[in-house]
Chain A
Amino acid sequence: LAKTTQPISMDSYEGQEVNITCSHNNIATNDYITWYQQFPSQGPRFIIQGYKTKVTNEVASLFIPADRKSSTLSLPRVSLSDTAVYYCLVGDGGGFKTIFGAGTRLFVKA
């Protein structure tokens, strides 16, 4: 199972773009990269998933370079409500192979 490394915490201000990078040097050919968001005392919530290049949805963008050894979650114009923990996960689908690390604690300030 591919291990991921991401910053422990990040601070930002409202209205800024936030980029959180995750390293996954041992990613396998069949692995997807998935990001979850977790608010205090709530279960994680799926944000975005990708395999290569760029994926964008109404919440975020995910940038994956050609070697797939890292990925960057981009949150445009964050607000206070984006304060949460963000988890980067790598796997070929299914929670039984999903390893949640400590995540990145994003704190958005006014």
Chain B
Amino acid sequence: DADVTQTPRNRITKTGKRIMLECSQTKGHDRMYWYRQDPGLGLRLIYYSFDVKDINKGEISDGYSVSRQAQAKFSLSLESAIPNQTALYFCATSDLLGEPNTGELFFGEGSRLTVL
């Protein structure tokens, strides 16, 4: 079983619909992230969370919201989806391991969202 699991893996929806992408992890990490990737581009950070009570906006948070339901669960919501939110979404986790600090990111397999 994957350490970082995303559901759904693929979703097609219509403009204006509310969509939730879910992420769960078994790595025991405190830090979780949501990234977006558009074709031919790198990943851009949407939101990140250091623990259950901590939520922070990333580079491109407009139009998105998140919920950290537990240490292991971090959900991304699109309240009213629009076509330019069509992208591949990745959830990731990391932990600070002290010195040397790798901050290695562990990614899920991605959720492909298409907004018509």
B is bound to A? yes
Count of chain B residues with Cβ under 8 Å from any Cβ of A?
Answer: 30
The number of residue pairs between A and B whose CB atoms lie closer than 8 Å in the complex comes to: 75
Known: A32-B102, A42-B109, A43-B107. A95 touches B48 (CB 8 A): yes
Known: A93-B96, A94-B94, A96-B56. A43 touches B110 (CB 8 A): yes
Residue from A46, A101, A102 having most chain B Cβ neighbours under 10 A: A46
Q: Is A79's beta carbon under 8 Å from chain B?
A: no
- Bound Cα distance from A32 to B88, whole angstroms: 27
**One of B12-20, B39-47, B62-70 contacting the partner:** B39-47
Measured as residues with beta carbon below 8 angstroms from the partner, the interface class of chain A is 20 to 34
Q: Which residues of B contact A100 (CB under 8 A)?
A: 35, 42-44
- Chain A interface residues (CB < 8 Å from chain B): 32, 34, 36, 41-46, 49, 51, 87, 91-96, 98-103
